[in-house]
């Protein structure tokens, strides 16, 4: 990690400027019929969640989430790290000890595309398993943000998969020999081994540390995309922070918390389509509490 910090800090990084928001859009809750609210939440979930492959569940942090922030002043980084940890605990994700080895990186750099290329050359481990053809797809609208993760297939109980060689050319293949009851139950889970978010410093002006921490939390913990600039929804999300900043909440919104809670409450081998109903259920829960709402 020390090597990574030295590398990132050498990219001509600037300090983050944080300003208070005049109004908190996250306090705006969809009103009216509960069925209408549920439909709006499901629609937004469908727009923002990147589906898993049809034969695999979502990749999640089954190992403790251990965030680190580089590329900004140390005081700012410590605040953001603390906020990300608190956010992760709030939604039920496993969180590592203070001295854990980082596996979730929030990076700030000037000129995102150039920084990505430098990272690919000098920190190749950050892109293990990410096909070159997917590198450009990591960018959010306008190359303001980038997010990606590396994952590993494991048995549903977390056991590493055995690798065997098959065929005349001795091709490697995974072998899952653990017991799993029920033909409809998946036998694997996807473990996130590392996740990263890179934010171009040209686009952080006017955003608070709380907003940046909330945005990084949801991009690191879940496979989601930024809201498109032209998209409209009565349901606020911090995923609009860079594309619709005037509509962005002050932190994780009711929707964001519901989505992440659903994400980490699902069974490890749950089919990804279940996220739609699960998010709506958490959003509409009478026991749901969000600060200021």
Q: Which residue is it, tokens 């809750």? A: 29
pLDDT at 136: 64
Question: Are the C-beta atoms of residues 26 and 254 closer than 8 Å to each other?
Answer: yes
pTM of the model: 0.79
pLDDT grade, residue 163 (50/70/90)? low
Q: Write down the mean pLDDT value for the chain.
A: 80
Concatenated DSSP letters for 96-165? --TTPPP-EEEEEESSHHHHHHHHHHH-GGGGTT--GGGTGGGB-GGGSEEEEEEEEEEETTSPBPEEEE
Would you say residue 269 has pLDDT above 50?
yes
Would you say residue 170 has pLDDT above 80?
no
Q: Among positive and negative, which fits the CA dihedral 69, 75, 78, 84?
A: negative
pLDDT grade, residue 243 (50/70/90)? very high
- Count of domains for the chain: 1
Residue 176 vs residue 17, higher pLDDT: 176
pLDDT at 156: 66
Residue 45 vs residue 12, higher pLDDT: 45
Q: Could you tell me the residue range of the domain that residue 25 belongs to?
A: 2-284
Would you say residue 71 has pLDDT above 70?
yes
pLDDT at 69: 96
pLDDT at 121: 84
pLDDT above 70 covers what percent of the chain? 71
In a domain, 142, yes or no: yes
In a domain, 291, yes or no: no
Phi and psi torsions of 116, nearest 5°: -60, -45
The encoded tokens of residue 125 equal 């481990």
In a domain, 13, yes or no: yes
Q: Among positive and negative, which fits the CA dihedral 204, 48, 282, 293?
A: positive
pLDDT at 107: 95
**What ranges in 93-136 are assigned the alpha helix state H?**
112-122
In a domain, 293, yes or no: no
Give whichever of 111-115, 222-226, 285-289 has the largest mean pLDDT. Answer: 222-226
The pLDDT tens digits of the residues spanning 177-236 come to: 555 545 555 677 788 888 999 999 999 999 999 999 999 999 999 999 999 888 878 899
In a domain, 292, yes or no: no
pLDDT at 21: 41
| Lowest mean pLDDT, pick from 144-148, 204-208, 289-293 | 289-293
Residue 124 vs residue 38, higher pLDDT: 38
Q: Which residue is it, tokens 């056991």? A: 159
Question: Are the C-beta atoms of residues 209 and 16 closer than 8 Å to each other?
Answer: yes
pLDDT at 103: 93
């Amino acid at each position: 990690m020390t090597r990574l910090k030295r590398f990132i800090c050498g990219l001509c990084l600037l300090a983050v400027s944080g300003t208070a928001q005049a109004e908190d859009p996250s306090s705006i809750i969809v009103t009216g019929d509960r069925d209408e609210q549920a439909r709006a939440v499901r629609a937004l979930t469908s727009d923002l969640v990147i589906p898993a492959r049809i034969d695999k569940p979502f990749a999640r942090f089954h190992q403790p989430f251990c965030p680190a922030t580089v590329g900004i002043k140390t005081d700012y980084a410590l605040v953001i790290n603390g906020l990300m940890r608190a956010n992760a605990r709030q939604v039920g994700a496993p969180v590592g000890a203070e001295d854990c080895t980082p596996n979730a990186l929030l990076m700030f750099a000037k000129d995102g595309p150039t920084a990505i290329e430098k990272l690919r050359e000098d920190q190749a481990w950050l892109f293990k398993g990410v096909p070159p053809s997917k590198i450009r797809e990591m960018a959010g609208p306008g190359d303001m943000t980038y997010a990606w993760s590396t994952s590993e297939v494991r048995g549903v109980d977390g056991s590493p998969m055995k690798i065997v060689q098959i065929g005349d050319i001795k091709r490697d293949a995974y072998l899952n020999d653990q017991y799993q009851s029920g033909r409809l139950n998946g036998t694997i889970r996807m473990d996130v081994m590392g996740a990263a978010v890179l934010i171009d410093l040209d686009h952080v002006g006017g955003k608070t540390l709380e907003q940046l921490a909330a945005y990084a939390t949801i991009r690191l913990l879940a496979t989601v995309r930024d809201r498109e600039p032209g998209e409209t929804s009565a349901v606020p999300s911090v995923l609009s922070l860079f594309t619709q900043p005037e509509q962005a909440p002050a932190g994780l919104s009711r929707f964001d918390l519901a989505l992440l809670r659903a994400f980490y409450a699902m069974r490890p081998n749950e089919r990804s389509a279940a996220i739609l109903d699960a998010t709506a259920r958490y959003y509409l829960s009478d026991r749901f509490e969000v600060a200021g709402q």
